[in-house]
Chain A
Amino acid sequence: EVQLVESGGGLVQPGGSLRLSCAVSGFSFNDHYMDWVRQAPGKGLEWVGCSRNKANKQTTEYAASVKGRFTISRDDSRNSLYLQMNSLRPEDTAVYFCTRMTATWLNDYWGQGTLVTVSS
């Protein structure tokens, strides 16, 4: 059974940092691109960024709104995806989902999400 479990969310002050983790199981993690998608309270979905698979050198892409502040990494040996978030702003407050991307570019499996609240 495919599972994605996010952790690491919480309350952080503006300007602070937080590291989210996504532990996966039930599939060959190193074969897949992985995305982070977020959803502010009561708002729509926003793509945050992606980590390509090992075959594509685990390179990354980011949304303009987080580029230079957020860093996506992965540890294939631990079947884990990470999102390092620095210089956090109130507008980064959201539920953060990790999601698997298939070879046909579909985000087919999603975690349950972890809430990040940026507030003083």
Chain B
Amino acid sequence: DIQMTQSPSSLSASVGDRVTITCQTSEDISNSLAWFQQKPGRAPKPLIHAASNLQTGVPSKFSGSGSGTHFSLIISSLQPEDFATYYCQQYQTYPITFGQGTRLEIK
């Protein structure tokens, strides 16, 4: 199975900040990576697929980069609605695997 190492596991930031979340995979997955946002009690919401493609309707403050084994999610100009948990997911190979999540909290 492809292992996902997401960091940090938690992050404290202020409104207006720019933050970066990273995801490392145990094998080369090309660009077969997605990012999701999840708020408490809600289903995950897709943000990015194919490592850097913004999902329709997602604001451009979210961006993704990377390929192979190293990936990043950048969120610029944090707003109160951005404080949530973020997950990376690889879909290169079954079983599909998720990172352990990054909890983004207000400082």
Interface size class of A (residues with CB under 8 A): 20 to 34
**B62 proximal to A (CB < 8 A):** no
Q: Which chain B residues lie closer than 8 Å to A44 at the CB level? A: 87, 98-101
Instruction: Report whether A106 and B46 are in contact in the complex, using a CB–CB cutoff of 8 Å.
Output: yes
Roughly how many angstroms separate A38 CA and B44 CA in the complex, as a whole number? 11
Mostly helix, strand, loop or mixed at chain B's interface? loop
The one of A50, A106, A112, A113 in contact with B49, judged by C-beta atoms closer than 8 angstroms, is A106
Interface size class of B (residues with CB under 8 A): 20 to 34
Roughly how many angstroms separate A110 CA and B99 CA in the complex, as a whole number? 18
Q: Which chain A residues lie closer than 8 Å to B38 at the CB level? A: 45
Q: Chain B nearest CB: distance from A104 CB in Å?
A: 6
Chain B residues in the interface with A (C-beta under 8 A)? 1, 32, 34, 36, 38, 43-46, 49-50, 55, 87, 89, 91, 94-101
29 interchain pairs, CB-CB under 8 A: A37-B44, A44-B98, A45-B38, A45-B44, A45-B98, A46-B98, A47-B96, A47-B97, A47-B98, A50-B94, A50-B96, A62-B95, A63-B95, A64-B95, A97-B44, A104-B49, A105-B34, A105-B91, A106-B46, A106-B91, A107-B34, A107-B36, A107-B44, A107-B89, A110-B43, A110-B44, A110-B45, A111-B43, A113-B43
Chain A residues in the interface with B (C-beta under 8 A)? 35, 37, 44-47, 50, 61-64, 97, 99, 104-108, 110-113
Top-3 shortest CB links A-B: A110-B43, A106-B49, A47-B96
